[in-house]
Structure 1
Amino acid sequence: MTRLALIIPTRNAQPHLDRLLPALKAQTLQPDTVLVVDSSSTDDTVSRFRDFGAQVHVIPASTFNHGGTRRWASQQVDADALIMLTQDAIPASAQTFANLLDELQQDPRIGVAYGRQLPHPGAGVLEAQARRFNYTAQSRTKSLDDAPELGIKTCFSSDSFSMYRRSALDAIGGFPADVIGSEDAYVAARMLLDGYLVRYAASACVEHSHHYSLLQEFRRYFDIGVFYGRERWIGETFGAAGGEGKRFVLAELQALREAGALHRVPEVLLRSALKLLGYRLGHAEHHLPTTLKRRLGMFSNYWT
């Protein structure tokens, strides 16, 4: 694969650009095309990316869709491999892109490789634990045969930082045209069902973590519940996420114990309860009025 495109959806990315742009410039493997799809930023995101040399296409914020926008963007570039990156995912070394391509090319059956996410500098104990739980130090290639062991984690992937083999993406029909989120899991699941492999590339690292409030956690999991409620074939094929949620909570409690922060245990329990409530409400969203769904989720434009 000789042609490489980098696609970055943006919206008011200014707080991240002082770190992101130098990290992109430092990459030993440079993309042939950098396409930024900007959702009508009100800061200087557009001008800074244009000065950087990127192609920037501005869209109304109301038209952004996690699947549809990436689908459109992928159709605008001529490349053998597509890097998907979010504006707050900062390459952790100059070899980040090169390492991800190397891992993608380990097997011609690998359709997508997603990188390791490290916590941002200054991240709290729970934010750092979330990265350790989902992004270990060991790479792994996943196939459909791993579903009995990994369950829903078989099709886990992340477009915060990933690389797609263009031929595989085209073979499964590309990104979904309309999803509330989790387009990465959708594509990975389709690829696995079509005989492709999914690669977790621990050698390719970005710094990417979030400090969500309790309300933000609820709203985020509402959207996740909407996705899996509408794409029930994923759960039917790979299994539910219940056991994984329990393991995550136990890992959080252990992290608090090791950090001497057991006073935060009630917060973890409340946060977990809100996640579960949000997910279940989202999963049953067809019973809720649209006006309420617009207020419950993070991606309110989806409902307009």
Structure 2
Amino acid sequence: PPTSQIKTLADARTLGIKTPFMSNSFAAYRGEALRAIGGFPRHVILSEDMYVTAKMLIDGWKAAYEGSAVCRHSHNYSLREEFCRYFDIGVFQSREAWIYETFGGIGGEGMRYVKSELKFLGPRRILWWPMSFVRNALKLLAYKLSKQEKRLPRGVKKKLGMYKRYWDSPYA
């Protein structure tokens, strides 16, 4: 978004889970703040950026977003890679439930994303709509499946997730 903002823990009431959202693709952290919360975690499968931002906000620090900054960063995930990524996202959300308890849940973000994607594609790109539906259905399936990850054997989780080495770690 083009609007810059400074977020604090109090913003969780209005921004919800977007309060600790941070993209590590183009982020800088104050060393003192990062050290104060114990640095980047080793035990999370992904989203270490959101994890440390949440910890910093709880610790009284602020998170700044500069709307005029520009960063070109994208992924060209295959359908399988997208599925695996969303499985891992769901694992993170389940295992780090304190973040969602503190800041609020995702509350319809997925549906808002689908609507914005279809609006972006518009009627002139209607041939892309089926792929959009397939891609988003796979994301939802992976996310829902990840909520059952504690019941799944480690080998299955390794096949379903993007970060295979995580499942060999002591944190899995």
- For the aligned pair, the TM-score class normalised by the smaller chain equals over 0.9
User: Higher helix share goes to which structure?
Assistant: 2
Q: 2:57 aligns to what?
A: 192
Q: CA–CA distance in 2 between the matches of 1:217 and 1:298?
A: 8
Is 1:269 aligned to 2:136, yes or no?
no
TM-score (norm 2): 0.92
Q: Is the 8 A contact 1:256 1:264 kept in 2?
A: yes
Which structure 1 residue ranges, 4+ long, deviate > 3 Å from structure 2?
none
Is 1:279 aligned to 2:143, yes or no?
yes
TM-score (norm 1): 0.53
Q: CA–CA distance in 1 between the matches of 2:70 and 2:53?
A: 20
Q: 1:171 aligns to what?
A: 36
Aligned equivalent of 2:4, options 112, 115, 139: 139
Aligned-residue offset at 1:177: 2.1
Q: CA–CA distance in 2 between the matches of 1:199 and 1:269?
A: 34
Quote the sequence identity (%): 54
Q: Which has the larger radius of gyration?
A: 1
- SS of the counterpart of 1:212? coil
Is 1:300 aligned to 2:164, yes or no?
yes
Deviates more, 1:219-228 or 1:273-282: 273-282
Q: CA–CA distance in 2 between the matches of 1:273 and 1:148?
A: 30
Counterpart residue identity of residue 191, structure 1: M
Is 1:204 aligned to 2:89, yes or no?
no
Aligned-residue offset at 1:296: 0.5
Gaps of 5+ in 2: none
Alignment size in residue pairs: 168
Equivalent residues in 2 for 1:47-58, closer than 5 Å: none
User: Higher strand share goes to which structure?
Assistant: 1
Q: Is the 8 A contact 1:227 1:283 kept in 2?
A: no
Q: Per chain length, whose mean CA-contact separation is higher, i.e. which structure has more relative contact order (CA < 8 Å, sep 6+)?
A: 2
Aligned-residue offset at 1:223: 0.5
Name the Cα RMSD after superposition.
1.3
Q: 1:250 aligns to what?
A: 115
Q: 2:27 aligns to what?
A: 162
Q: CA–CA distance in 1 between the matches of 2:68 and 2:51?
A: 24
Q: CA–CA distance in 2 between the matches of 1:244 and 1:147?
A: 15
Q: CA–CA distance in 2 between the matches of 1:177 and 1:251?
A: 34
Aligned-residue offset at 1:185: 0.4
